[in-house]
């Protein structure tokens, strides 16, 4: 029978081994677009899964790094598995360790990718180890999928990821926790649109009226675009990049804007898609080309609520207060939730500084996260 307190005691006793494993993972630099680096990280994870009795496959790709798929307790034939979901890539380029090395100071450990999300991978490993050490066998298989390109839109293995989710009873995402260690029960959908304005070039001094100024047209469109936002509802629209013009004495023929959108619900996603695509030129001779769209659907709270209640109950049995939070950032949990699969996110490390030079995790929280994950796996 599963005892949450025993799982916690085991994970706390394994703290130094957990930190050693985490250091090894951090010191394998793995930027998203560096296939050899990602493959080194994938091989490390595969070996760690093997050590813990997993049935492991590396999924190769001609351009991206390898994905890792491991299965535990696969003898529970016919039962829908639990899917643990993470990613091996980081936003940090190879060579970052020279100026930002792994460093443990007091209760914090620092390093590139340690919070987002190598601590989550390691907590997952030790959760599985704790279950085996306590002779707790989940009633269904547990599958662990590590995606190599989550930080750059999860394109290489999107189909495989979705297929894994569709056969699962629940998805537990090992992305880092929100502030104060809160689990993530809702995420906004994420989109990017590109607005290209095509005008007509002309000499700015001799005959400017013969031109159609693409930058001027784009400038007039921006207030229209910004009015599509509904910030009180959490729907945000931001023009974040503008490019246009060639020389100061040439009426610009082309101008481009890239627009970031964040949507809290599927309905908002459909609305913003429709409204962006019906933007029309103000100047009668200008043309607008609108491409892009919402590329990560929102993760709505209703898909996480039952899992969160279970996590909060298990945390209470360990003496932990488990809270929830919503976030504007996306993860692969957005995709699984949109399929209608119960999905709980933010089960990885507690800390701060994702994608920043002060990136760190709180060391004493690591065994607590591993134990909570282990208990959640055993209870589903």
Residue 285 belongs to a domain with what CATH number?
A: 3.30.70.360
Are residues 141 and 79 part of one domain? yes
pLDDT computed for residue 75 by the predictor: 75
Q: What is the DSSP string of 150-190?
A: GGGTS-TTHHHHHHHHHT-SEEEE-PPP-GGG-EEEEE-EE
Tell me: cis bond preceding 114? Omega within 30 of 0 counts: no
Are residues 53 and 105 part of one domain? yes
Tens digits of residue pLDDT in 248-306: 999 999 999 999 999 999 999 999 999 999 999 999 999 999 999 999 999 999 999 99
pLDDT computed for residue 77 by the predictor: 64
Are residues 160 and 51 part of one domain? yes
Contact 380, 131 (CB under 8 A): no
Mean pLDDT, the chain, whole residue set: 97
Question: Mean per-residue pLDDT for 86-97?
Answer: 98
Question: Mean per-residue pLDDT for 107-116?
Answer: 98
Parent domain of 72: 4-187+298-379
How many CB atoms lie under 10 A from the CB of residue 29? 20
Are residues 168 and 19 part of one domain? yes
d(CA 54, CA 337): 26
Are residues 43 and 31 part of one domain? yes
pLDDT computed for residue 78 by the predictor: 74
160 sits in the region (left: phi over 0; alpha: psi -120 to 50; else beta) called alpha
Q: Measuring CA to CA, which residue among 68, 67, 94 is closest to residue 149?
A: 67
Tens digits of residue pLDDT in 7-46: 999 999 999 999 999 999 999 999 999 999 999 999 999 9
Residue 332 belongs to a domain with what CATH number?
A: 3.40.630.10
pLDDT computed for residue 76 by the predictor: 66
Are residues 96 and 133 part of one domain? yes
* Boundary of a domain, candidates 251, 280, 296: 296
pLDDT of residue 130 exceeding 80, the answer is: yes
Name the one residue in this structure whose structure tokens are 């906004």: 188
Are residues 371 and 360 part of one domain? yes
Are residues 350 and 292 part of one domain? no
Are residues 216 and 353 part of one domain? no
3-class SS of residue 262: strand
pLDDT computed for residue 224 by the predictor: 98
Are residues 219 and 103 part of one domain? no
Are residues 347 and 283 part of one domain? no
Tens digits of residue pLDDT in 135-176: 999 999 999 999 999 999 999 999 999 999 999 999 999 999
* Boundary of a domain, candidates 279, 296, 313: 296
Are residues 165 and 37 part of one domain? yes
3-class SS of residue 119: helix
Q: Structural domain tally of the chain? A: 2
* Boundary of a domain, candidates 247, 280, 296: 296
Verdict on whether the full-model pTM lies above 0.85 = yes
pLDDT of residue 101 exceeding 90, the answer is: yes
């Amino acid at each position: 029978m599963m005892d949450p307190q025993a799982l916690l005691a085991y994970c706390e006793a394994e703290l130094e081994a957990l930190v050693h494993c985490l250091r090894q993972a951090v010191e394998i630099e793995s930027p998203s677009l560096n296939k050899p680096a990602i493959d080194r990280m994938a091989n490390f994870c595969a070996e760690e899964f093997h050590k813990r009795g997993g049935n492991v496959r590396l999924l190769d790709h001609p351009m991206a790094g390898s994905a890792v798929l491991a299965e535990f307790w696969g003898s529970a034939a016919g039962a829908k598995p639990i899917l643990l979901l993470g990613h091996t890539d980081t936003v940090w380029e190879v060579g970052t360790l020279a100026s930002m090395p792994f460093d443990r100071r007091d209760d914090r450990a620092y390093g590139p990718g340690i919070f987002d999300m190598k601590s989550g991978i390691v907590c997952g490993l030790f959760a599985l180890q704790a279950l085996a050490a306590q002779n707790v066998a989940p009633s269904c298989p547990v599958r662990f999928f590590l995606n190599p390109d989550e930080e750059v839109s999860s394109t290489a293995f999107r189909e495989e990821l979705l297929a894994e989710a569709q056969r699962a009873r629940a998805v537990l995402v090992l992305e880092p926790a929100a502030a104060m260690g809160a689990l993530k029960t809702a995420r906004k959908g994420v989109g990017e649109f590109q607005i290209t304005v095509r005008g007509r070039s002309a000499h700015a001094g001799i005959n400017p009226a013969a031109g159609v100024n693409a930058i001027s047209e784009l400038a007039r469109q921006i207030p229209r675009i910004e009015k599509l936002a509904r910030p009180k509802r959490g729907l945000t629209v931001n023009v974040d990049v503008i490019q246009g013009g060639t020389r100061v004495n040439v009426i610009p023929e082309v101008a481009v804007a890239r627009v970031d959108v964040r949507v809290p619900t599927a309905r908002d996603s459909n609305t913003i898609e429709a409204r962006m695509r019906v933007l029309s030129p103000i100047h009668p001779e200008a043309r607008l080309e609108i491409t892009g769209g919402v590329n990560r659907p929102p993760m709505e709270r209703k898909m996480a609520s039952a899992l969160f209640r279970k996590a909060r109950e298990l945390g209470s049995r360990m003496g932990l207060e488990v809270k929830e939070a919503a976030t504007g950032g996306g993860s692969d949990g957005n995709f699984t939730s949109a399929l209608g699969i119960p999905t709980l996110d933010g089960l990885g490390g507690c800390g701060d500084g994702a994608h920043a030079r002060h990136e760190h995790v709180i060391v004493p929280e690591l065994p607590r996260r591993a134990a909570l994950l282990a208990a959640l796996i055993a209870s589903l």
